[in-house]
Homo-oligomer: A and B are copies of this chain.
Amino acid sequence: MPGGLRTDLYQLNMAASYLRRGMDADATFSLSIRDLPVHRGFLVAAGLEACLDAVERFGFDEEDLAFLQGLGFEPRALDAFRGLRFGGEIWAVPEGRIVAAGEPLVEVTAPIAQAQLLETLLLNTITLHVTLASKAARYRIAARGTDLVDFSFRRTHGLDAGLAAARCSAIVGFSATSNVEAARRFGLRVSGTMAHSFVEAFESEADAFRAYAEDHAGNVTFLVDTYDTLSGVRTAIRTIEQLNISRGLAIRLDSGDLGQLAREARELLDDAGLESVRIFASGGLDEHEVSDLVLAEAPIDAFGIGTQLGVSADAPYVDSIYKLVTYDGRPTMKLSSGKASMPGAKQVFRGDGFADTIGLREEDLPGERLLERVVANGRRLRAPDALLAMQDRFGSDLDALPERARMLAGPEPISAVVSAQLELLTEQARAAATRRSVTI
């Protein structure tokens, strides 16, 4: 499906006006996150590959056009939509980079109708991925090296969001996902064992454990809390002993006081000479709980992270915007109360220690340039980005991130200053915009 109707009606209304009026000059739109959610010290750029896939496919098929005709779009608008493809240029921050509020993540330059029609698609996709990657990054910080596995699929906002959660958590260093389709699509390691229902379906917990261990030799995690956790641990130990198995063994705790139960389970396992059996913990954990368990040195080898990650429960969105910054060579901005934008195509120049300056793209300021040209003339300039590259970018940025911005509560966020030239252009555009609003 070309996907042209996966948008808000007003994009089509505006595009129809532009096409009808021959307004085909280039526009640049800049996508950024206006403010950080509370308790976020940074954001993680993510979602670009999904955007570029959708941009390449973007268009209208005859069914789409027939529906728009029914809505009252006139024939010449439909004709203009029929052949419409994206033929412009896109600059973007590569996925996995750590960024500050206000920094452009994606900038689109194209004839204004084309660039306008991508708004909903780009905002939706970037918002979701930045939200989830930025949340997942907090678990990475909290876990301090302990393995993390994405278990969120059952409660993400739809199946697509489940794929995004698996991918975003992989970008920031999760080691596996429970989501099989995500594993296939993105080449992730997939992880999973049994549910409580499996234990209940057998005559006894022991029967269930034995059956599972026989059927899935070499990769067996016993879920021990269906009835009584420590009793379940003992049953797991007996099962291991009776079947005389040793490879790929773990137990999973999914309820109760995970720290205390992990200690008691570890002792039971060690007493039985099963030091190599890992302890896996899950159960609605947020990043603060993970941090507390790790700091308390609970003997947990891996965490399964579900709903709190999958919906970014404490901050389920970021305040993303897609703003017109130039049209036909003229800088543009809005002055709306509390929501004013800054004009001009931009670049972020990064000095050591996240000393970021947002300047104009044409400026030549010192520092690393975060935005790269990824599409020209409607075509990608390189092969799809590899997950490994995103993981490396995130890992490097996280290592360099100031401690104060990493804090899980009350962080001091990284932030960018605005270049003198951009300040000047903003003042000029503000004055011009004020003139544009004079009542006729």
Quick one: CB contact mask for A164-195 with B, threshold 8 Å, 1 for yes? 10000000000000111101100000111111
Residues of chain B with a CB closer than 8 A to A10's CB: 178, 192-195
- In the bound assembly, the distance between CA atoms of A123 and B306 in angstroms comes to 13
- Please tell me if the beta carbons of B180 and A212 are within 8 angstroms of each other in the complex: no
Q: How large is the interface on A (under 10, 10 to 19, 20 to 34, 35 or more residues)?
A: 35 or more
Considering the complex, give the chain B residue whose CB is closest to the CB of A307.
B317
- Please tell me if the beta carbons of B120 and A153 are within 8 angstroms of each other in the complex: yes
Residue from B123, B178, B227, B307 in contact with A436 in the complex, judged by beta carbons closer than 8 Å: B227
A8 on the interface (CB 8 Å rule)?
yes
- Please tell me if the beta carbons of A27 and B201 are within 8 angstroms of each other in the complex: yes
Say how far A181's CB is from chain B's closest CB, in angstroms: 4
- In the bound assembly, the distance between CA atoms of A18 and B216 in angstroms comes to 12
Considering the complex, give the chain B residue whose CB is closest to the CB of A436.
B204
Quick one: CB contact mask for A64-89 with B, threshold 8 Å, 1 for yes? 00010001100000000000000000
- Please tell me if the beta carbons of A17 and B180 are within 8 angstroms of each other in the complex: no
Given A21-B211, A227-B434: A190 touches B9 (CB 8 Å cut-off): yes
- Please tell me if the beta carbons of B119 and A195 are within 8 angstroms of each other in the complex: yes
Residues of chain B with a CB closer than 8 A to A184's CB: 5, 67
- Please tell me if the beta carbons of B256 and A336 are within 8 angstroms of each other in the complex: yes
Considering the complex, give the chain B residue whose CB is closest to the CB of A216.
B13
- Please tell me if the beta carbons of B437 and A201 are within 8 angstroms of each other in the complex: no
A327 on the interface (CB 8 Å rule)?
yes
- Please tell me if the beta carbons of B439 and A14 are within 8 angstroms of each other in the complex: no
- Please tell me if the beta carbons of B332 and A201 are within 8 angstroms of each other in the complex: yes
- In the bound assembly, the distance between CA atoms of A193 and B14 in angstroms comes to 8
- Please tell me if the beta carbons of B201 and A155 are within 8 angstroms of each other in the complex: no
A353 on the interface (CB 8 Å rule)?
no
Given A120-B153, A439-B238: A8 touches B201 (CB 8 Å cut-off): no
- Please tell me if the beta carbons of B158 and A128 are within 8 angstroms of each other in the complex: yes
In chain A between 1 and 17, which residues have their CB closer than 8 angstroms to a CB of chain B? 5-14, 16-17
A103 on the interface (CB 8 Å rule)?
no
Considering the complex, give the chain B residue whose CB is closest to the CB of A206.
B440
- In the bound assembly, the distance between CA atoms of A212 and B17 in angstroms comes to 7
- Please tell me if the beta carbons of B119 and A154 are within 8 angstroms of each other in the complex: yes
- In the bound assembly, the distance between CA atoms of A184 and B6 in angstroms comes to 10
Interface segment, one of A229-237, A396-404, A406-414: A229-237
Residues of chain B with a CB closer than 8 A to A8's CB: 151, 153-154, 178-180, 192
Considering the complex, give the chain B residue whose CB is closest to the CB of A201.
B327
In chain A between 317 and 334, which residues have their CB closer than 8 angstroms to a CB of chain B? 317, 320, 323-324, 327, 332-334
A159 on the interface (CB 8 Å rule)?
yes
Residues of chain B with a CB closer than 8 A to A55's CB: none
A46 on the interface (CB 8 Å rule)?
no
Residue from B158, B201, B227, B337 in contact with A160 in the complex, judged by beta carbons closer than 8 Å: B158
The 8 A-B pairs at the shortest CB distance, nearest first, are namely A9-B192, A227-B437, A157-B157, A10-B192, A197-B324, A158-B160, A256-B337, A200-B332
